[in-house]
């Protein structure tokens, strides 16, 4: 997790460099082509990520019911896809997006409650001398490719790159850094408490395994966690659906409308939902975003050369190669 957060921060640095030095300033035709390619890559990544978000939503929605199986989870996911398509096609997402500020505050409160509960449980285990240190079960290249397949779990910071009409460059750069620092802190605290408090074989590995673990910590945490997950996954899916539709309309210069983009996304999402497991979709989403980050890093490398920043150009070029490696070798956690 530390490595994932570090790599994500470096990709974020490339995007922040582009906000400051490339956005609206470059007449370089190669950079413009790379920007266009990265926009297409992002549109495709949005399509896969929406399937990822909604499949998690479906799994969490049925997790505490008598219908807790893959088939019914996929039915819920499919239903939400249809709802999103109908709302986007008929009315747009403005009303849903206005809920974002409230839901973000609620989710952060639930996350803090989760971390507090884990900290208390961790302290009790430590006091009883029952903390666990388990050796890694996957090593070498297999561990690296598994980490590649989990990149999507630490992405999301790229949103600041596309808010130029509302915020200036420095505000967006600061917002991205803050988002990455805060998320990395939450990830690392959560993983540290979890890793030393529970044995890896305590429960079966699935997309909602965290619910069973949190029931051990405190009876109220599973319900809070489900509420946060449903809210988070739905909001993220709506945001990425809107982003994908807008990007498709812009990139095709109006030949495809945003509505047509929504329809294409839902069709692809339903295909992924019924053809793959959640873990496979996570892997494909990671690869899609890795390609986008590789292109953004290449843009940053070229711009850094133009600004005489040789060391940064080398770093960004290396990140471009890393992004391509993740695209090629990323593996599902299964």
Average pLDDT over residues 69-98: 81
CATH code linked to domain 2-329: 1.20.1740.10
Which of 14-23, 25-34, 294-303 has the lowest average pLDDT? 25-34
pLDDT band of 151, cuts 50, 70, 90? confident
How far apart are alpha carbons 223 and 139 in whole angstroms? 35
Average confidence (pLDDT) over 155-176: 82
Q: What pLDDT does 100 receive? A: 56
Beta carbons within 8 Å of 135's beta carbon, 6+ residues apart: none
Q: What is the pLDDT of residue 134?
A: 80
Burial class of 227 by CB neighbour count within 10 A (0 to 12, 13 to 18, 19+): middle
Q: How far is residue 158's CA from residue 213's CA, in Å, rounded to a whole number? A: 31
- Residue 65 to residue 218: CA distance in whole angstroms: 19
pLDDT score, position 103 = 66
Backbone angles phi, psi at 293, to 5 degrees: -65, -35
Instruction: Tell me the per-residue pLDDT of 106-121, one tens digit each, with 9 for 90 and over.
Output: 778 888 888 898 999 9
For 25-67, how does the pLDDT look when each residue is reduced to its tens digit (9 = 90+)? Answer: 667 788 888 888 988 888 888 888 888 888 988 888 888 788 8
Cβ-Cβ contacts under 8 Å for 59 (sequence gap 6 or more): 73, 206, 207, 208, 278
The model carries a pTM of 0.84
User: Has residue 96 got a pLDDT over 60?
Assistant: no
Hey, where are the domains in the chain?
A: 2-329
Three-state secondary structure string covering the chain:
CHHHHHHHHHHHHHHHHHHHHCCCCCCCHHHHHHHHHHHHHHHHHHHHHHHHHHHHHHHHHCCCCCCCCHHHHHHHHHHHHHHHHHHHHHCCCHHHHCCHHHHHHHHHHHHHHHHHHHHHHHHHHHHCCCCCCCCCCCCHHHHHHHHHCCHHHHCCHHHHHHCCCCCCHHHHHHHHHHHHHHHHHHHHHHHHHHHHHCCCCCCCCCCCHHHHHHHHHCCCHHHHHHHHHHHHHHHHHHHHHHHHHHHHHHHCCCCCCHHHHHHHHHHHHHHHHHHCCHHHHHHHHHHHHHHHHHHHHHHHHHHHHHCCCHHHHHHHHHHHHHHHHHHHHCCCCC
Confidence at residue 252, expressed as pLDDT on a 0 to 100 scale:
85
| Per-residue model confidence as pLDDT tens digits over 243-288 | 778 788 878 888 888 888 888 888 999 999 999 888 888 888 888 8
pLDDT of residue 69: 87
**pLDDT higher than threshold 70 for residue 102:** no
What confidence tens digit (pLDDT) does each residue in 181-237 have?
A: 999 999 999 988 988 888 777 777 777 778 878 888 888 888 888 888 787 787 778
What pLDDT band is residue 238 in, cutting at 50, 70 and 90? confident
């Amino acid at each position: 997790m530390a490595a994932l957060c570090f790599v994500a921060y470096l990709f974020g640095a490339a995007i922040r460099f582009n906000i400051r030095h490339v956005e609206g300033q470059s007449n370089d035709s190669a950079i413009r082509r790379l920007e266009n390619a990265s926009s297409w890559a992002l549109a495709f990544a949005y399509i896969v990520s929406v399937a990822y978000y909604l499949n998690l939503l479906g799994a969490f929605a049925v997790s505490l019911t008598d219908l807790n199986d893959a088939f019914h989870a996929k039915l819920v996911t499919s239903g939400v896809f249809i709802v999103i398509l109908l709302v986007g096609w008929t009315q747009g997402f403005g009303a849903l997006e206005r809920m974002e500020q409230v839901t973000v505050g609620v989710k952060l409160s639930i996350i803090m409650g989760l971390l507090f509960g884990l900290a208390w449980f961790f302290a009790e285990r430590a006091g009883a001398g029952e903390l666990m240190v388990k050796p890694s079960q996957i090593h070498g290249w297999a561990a690296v490719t598994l980490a590649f397949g989990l990149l999507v779990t630490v992405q999301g910071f790229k949103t600041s790159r596309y808010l130029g009409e509302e915020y200036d460059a420095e505000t967006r750069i600061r917002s991205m850094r803050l988002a990455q620092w805060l998320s990395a802190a939450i990830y690392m605290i959560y993983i540290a408490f979890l890793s030393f408090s529970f044995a890896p074989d305590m429960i079966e590995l699935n997309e909602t395994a965290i619910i069973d673990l949190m029931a051990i910590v405190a009876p109220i945490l599973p319900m809070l966690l489900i509420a946060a997950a449903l809210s988070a996954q739905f909001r993220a899916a709506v945001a990425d659906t809107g982003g994908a539709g807008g990007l498709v309309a812009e990139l095709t210069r109006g030949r495809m409308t945003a509505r047509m983009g929504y329809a294409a996304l839902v069709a692809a999402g339903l295909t992924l939902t019924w053809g793959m497991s959640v873990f496979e979709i996570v892997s494909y989403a990671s690869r899609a975003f890795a390609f986008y980050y590789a292109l953004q890093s290449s843009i940053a490398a070229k711009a850094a050369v133009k600004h005489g920043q040789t060391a940064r150009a080398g770093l960004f070029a290396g990140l471009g190669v890393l992004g391509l490696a993740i695209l090629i070798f990323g593996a599902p956690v299964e």
